[in-house]
Chain A
Amino acid sequence: EVGQPSIALMADAPSLPLIQELLEEAPGKQQRKPQVLGHPLQYMLELYQRSADARGHPRENRTIGATMVRLVRPLSTVARPLRGPWCIKTLDFPLRPNQVAYQLVRAIVVYRHQLHLAHFHLSCHVEPWIQKSQTNHFPSGRGSSKPSLLSKAWTEMDITQHVRQRLWNPKGHRVLRLRFMCQQQKGSEILEFQWHGTSSLDTAFLLLYVNDTHKSVQKAKLHPRGLEEFMGRDSSLLLRRTR
């Protein structure tokens, strides 16, 4: 069982990546399955059905373009009350400490661009949270031209460049911070709005498309060049001995 000492010992062996992953990613048996419902789960189920058959065999014609897709939910949100017609929420997406060991293929933020809450009809978009004096690397347009798994109220935005430049390096921040900004639709009466009834999960999530590079690292270790270098060192030893 996951978490037992014998498996913990096995995880020390670098040649057991599956065991390592089970320890890192699997919730403990005693832990209840985290509650994941709603749009994120639906989105990932559709992505799965497009990419693999019912028995788990990856489809030949899959267009996913990566061997791994992680859906990251916002960790915390700070909501600011309405300022004029605008209301703003700050979303923090935590990245895993070892995440940069993987090759980033694509980063997408998926968010609701239309919110209908009680008497409010809001149009929304996301922006990077960037300190003043830094430039905005987000695309100016909204949405994605790729075939979407989304219903009408949701939009995808490609933020690969932003994530790659600011977060995908060993010294990068471990948190992607975005601003989720909503405006009351024109013509509707401006009312005092609070973010009641909108959890962070209801408004946005992050998708990281990555490739596992562990295999290529292992292959590199076994690459003949390594052997050549070793042989080179060895032959110099031999030469010294001869001398």
Chain B
Amino acid sequence: QAGRITSWVPGFSKEHDGPKSNQCSLHPFQVSFHQLGWDHWIIAPHVYTPNYCKGACPRVLHYGLNSPNHAIIQNLVNELVDQSVPQPSCVPYKYVPISILLVEANGNILYKEYEDMIAQSCTCR
């Protein structure tokens, strides 16, 4: 449990992780296909919400972040052994697909479900 581990991580204090608002989390973000330069062939939808993950990874990675064992060890290595080994990064954990209707160069129309197009949650790894 994070609470118990933090007691033996040398020099650990909650202030080290910075303000909670700056911690690794999912940020909603919307972009239009016009902005991406794809509106000349995508019929629907008009907007796309890929979202993104941003923020600092805490020094002790709790369960809610779904970090793999490797990330937890790498964090400890950074903390206790070698600071040239970077801390884990805040990246997407789960994705959901998006359905797109587009017109092809030859005038055919395509409906397609593209996997892993929208970030749904984040992790530190």
A177 an interface residue at 8 Å Cβ cutoff?
no
Interface residues of A in 192-243 (CB under 8 A from B): 212, 215
Q: Is B48 an interface residue (CB 8 A)?
A: yes
Residues from chain B with Cβ under 8 Å of A55 in the complex = 45, 47, 49
Closest to A34 in B: B107
A-B contact pairs, 14 of them (CB 8 A): A27-B40, A27-B41, A28-B105, A29-B40, A34-B106, A35-B107, A41-B109, A45-B43, A45-B44, A57-B118, A70-B108, A71-B109, A73-B107, A215-B115
- Taking CB atoms and an 8 Å cut-off, the chain B residues in 73-121 that contact chain A are 96-115, 118
Say whether A48 contacts B111, CB under 8 Å.
Answer: yes
- Inter-chain CA distance A35–B118, complex, in Å, is 30
Given A54-B45, A56-B48, A58-B99, the answer on whether A27 and B114 have CB atoms closer than 8 Å is no
Q: Cα distance A55–B100 when bound, in Å?
A: 10
Contact B45 A56 (CB under 8 A): yes
**B37 touches A (CB below 8 Å):** yes
The reply to whether B103 and A1 contact each other, CB–CB distance below 8 Å, is no
Query: Which B residues are CB-close (under 8 A) to A56?
Result: 44-45, 48, 98-100
In the assembled complex, A153 has its CB within 8 A of some CB on chain B: no
Give 14 A-B pairs besides A55-B49, A64-B111 with Cβ atoms closer than 8 angstroms: A2-B37, A26-B104, A27-B105, A28-B105, A33-B103, A34-B104, A45-B43, A48-B101, A56-B100, A57-B98, A67-B113, A68-B113, A71-B109, A73-B106
B29 in contact (CB, < 8 A): no
Chain A residues whose CB sits within 8 angstroms of the CB of B115 once the complex forms? 215
Q: Are B110 and A68 in contact (CB under 8 A)?
A: yes
Q: Which residue of A lies closest to B117 (CB)?
A: A56
Tell me the B residues contacting A by CB distance below 8 Å: 37-38, 40-41, 43-45, 47-49, 96-115, 118
CB distance from A31 to the nearest CB of B (A): 7
Would you give the shortest CB distance from A216 to chain B, in whole angstroms? 12
**What CA separation (Å) do A55 and B48 show in the bound complex?**
7
Sort A-B residue pairs by CB-CB distance and give the 7 closest, nearest first.
A52-B99, A56-B45, A34-B107, A27-B105, A71-B109, A69-B111, A56-B98
Residue of B37, B99, B104 touching A57 (CB-CB under 8 A): B99
Which A residues, 15 to 33, have Cβ-Cβ distances below 8 Å to chain B?
18, 25-29, 31-33
A27 to B37, CA, bound (A): 11
Contacts of A72 in B (CB 8 A): 108
A18→B38 contact, CB < 8 A: no
- How many Å lie between the Cα of A34 and that of B89 in the bound state? 43
Cβ-defined contact, B108 with A73, below 8 A? yes
**What residue in chain B is nearest A93 (Cβ atoms)?**
B108
Question: What residues of chain B lie closer than 8 Å to A58, measured between beta carbons?
Answer: 97-99, 113
- Tell me the chain A residues, 76-102 only, with Cβ under 8 Å from chain B: none
The interface residues of chain A lying within 8 Å CB-to-CB of B103 are: 27, 33-34, 36
Contact between chains at B96 and A44 (CB < 8 Å): no
- C-alpha spacing A34/B48, complex, angstroms: 22
Q: Is the CB of A33 within 8 A of B44?
A: no
Cα A57 to Cα B37 in complex, Å, equals 21
A51 within 8 A of B: yes
The smallest beta-carbon distance between B114 and chain A, in angstroms, is 7
B109 touches A26 (CB 8 A): no
The distance from the CB of A79 to the nearest CB of chain B, in whole angstroms, is 20
Most buried by A among B38, B99, B110, B111: B111
